[in-house]
Amino acid sequence: MLHSVQSSPSYPDNMQKKSLHDLAVFTGKPAFSEPLHVGRPNIGNRAALTRRMEDILDSRWLTNNGPYVQEFERRICELTGAAHCVSMCNGTVGLELVIRALGMSGEVIVPSFTFIATVHALQWQGIQPVFCDVDPLTHTIDPAAAEKLITPRTSGIIGVHLWGRPAAPERLADLAQKHKLKLVFDAAHALGCTHQGIGIGNFGDAEVFSFHATKFINSFEGGAVVTNDAALAGRLRMMHNFGFTGYDCVESIGTNGKMPEISAAMGITSLESLENFVAHNRRNFDAYAHRLGGLPGLRLYRFPEEDRYNWQYVTLEIDPAAALTRDEIMQMLHAENVLARRYFYPGCHRMEPYRSLYPNAPSSLPHTEALVQRVLSLPTGTAVSDSDIASICELVTLALNNPDAVRKRLASNQ
């Protein structure tokens, strides 16, 4: 069962917003007295976490591949079905180290429709990211577009399993094999998901998970590289511990990318509630789908039912021809303390240093350019209740039913 899960405070039923002027952009009070975030952390069993923290303090084994890190890695292997898991202090360091361990150089093809860390992990190491457009339906990298970007300098491809949806693993694997490229997947959104019955973590040369606080399974802060390549796992273990292979033996350059024991303890505690977290996320998704279904101009991003998903994101696409734009709906919700996010605006290619380095990139990314203007992610997770979702959907419906007045008011408030 879930422990110590608290919903954000919302309006009582007798104070639901029924008229236009109840909206906070007019004269009403915000629907939520505290900010309701997209990724408010799941906590899990506090008592179990506290026991583990006490054990860590009693043992004084705080880091350096302690028993909790070892257990956490075993559990990730059991969950994914992959042979090796190398835990990291965070997912970004995991990306950086696997890129280096695989010997990527020159150019690497990567979507721009992703979190900036995916791209920074390349540029930080002097590797040129080559931005690839995405499939407008799946939001993941388009393999056909990727093949057109391959040059003699291309050393690899990074796919991103966006929202937990697998990024065409077989097609990208075929492409990588054909052109002798390395293939890595940023799986930050996809823990516990499957593709054709195979767990995410088993594709490409390696896959990288994030256990940041905003992810549905968190370790406070953390990450992991998962692979079926024993030699690669060995290199990563050496690299994330300064290059040590023994007590006083350093055999290569390395860094400090290790996960501490307290993070592993939180990760184990989170994993013990995984099924409950997923079930709660799915109920939230279905509640949004029920209440927002049929609203003109809004499309909820959906998943094929044949595989397993973690449902940790509820993502809307708002058509430019809708009664209100994506940004107008977001501004209205922010006034109500509903901090919906326009992932991944404005696209990595429009952030620095990439905006200056690749000024012509927008012309080759039409689907990405469209999505960054349409996508809006809504709050979910165990901190969000059915009544919270009812309030959020009521706000969206009320605003869409009065678009001219809302638009005028938003303009006057700027």
Q: Is the pLDDT of residue 1 over 80?
A: no
Domain boundaries, given as residue ranges, for the chain: 16-38+273-340+379-413, 46-272
pLDDT (tens digit per residue) in 276-312: 999 999 999 999 999 999 899 999 999 998 899 999 9
Tokens 């292997």, residue located = 77
How confident is the model at residue 23, as a pLDDT?
96
Q: Which two tokens stand for residue 263?
A: 């993070």
Q: Is the pLDDT of residue 6 over 80?
A: no
How confident is the model at residue 262, as a pLDDT?
98
7 falls in which pLDDT band (50, 70, 90)?
Answer: very low
Backbone angles phi, psi at 338, to 5 degrees: -100, 105
| pLDDT, mean of residues 163-171 | 98
Topology of 16-38+273-340+379-413 in CATH? Aspartate Aminotransferase, domain 1 (3.90.1150)
| pLDDT, mean of residues 382-399 | 96
| pLDDT, mean of residues 118-139 | 98
Looking at residue 341, the DSSP 8-state letter turns out to be B
CB 344 within 8 A of CB 4: no
Q: Is the pLDDT of residue 9 over 90?
A: no
| pLDDT, mean of residues 208-212 | 98
Give the architecture-level CATH label for domain 46-272.
3-Layer(aba) Sandwich (3.40)
How confident is the model at residue 413, as a pLDDT?
87
pLDDT (tens digit per residue) in 346-370: 999 999 999 999 999 999 999 999 9
Average pLDDT over the chain, rounded to an integer = 95
15 falls in which pLDDT band (50, 70, 90)?
Answer: low
- In the chain, the percentage of residues whose pLDDT exceeds 90 is 93
Q: Is the pLDDT of residue 343 over 50?
A: yes
Rounded-to-integer distance, Cα 148 and Cα 140, Å? 16
| pLDDT, mean of residues 83-95 | 98
Q: Is the pLDDT of residue 322 over 50?
A: yes
What burial class does residue 404 get, using C-beta atoms within 10 Å of its C-beta: 0-12 exposed, 13-18 middle, 19+ buried?
exposed
CB 298 within 8 A of CB 317: yes
How confident is the model at residue 11, as a pLDDT?
42
267 falls in which pLDDT band (50, 70, 90)?
Answer: very high
> Could you tell me the pTM of the whole model?
0.94
| pLDDT, mean of residues 59-71 | 98
134 falls in which pLDDT band (50, 70, 90)?
Answer: very high
Largest CA distance in the chain: 71
By C-alpha distance, which of 144, 149, 142, 191 is closest to 167?
142
Cα 72 to Cα 7, 57, 188, distances in angstroms = 28, 18, 17
pLDDT (tens digit per residue) in 176-186: 999 999 999 99
At residue 127, the 3 state secondary structure works out as: coil
Q: Which two tokens stand for residue 193?
A: 């998901």
Q: Which of 25-29, 116-120, 221-225 has the lowest mean pLDDT?
A: 25-29
By C-alpha distance, which of 135, 179, 180, 181 is closest to 161?
135
CB 224 within 8 A of CB 76: yes
Q: Is the pLDDT of residue 12 over 60?
A: no
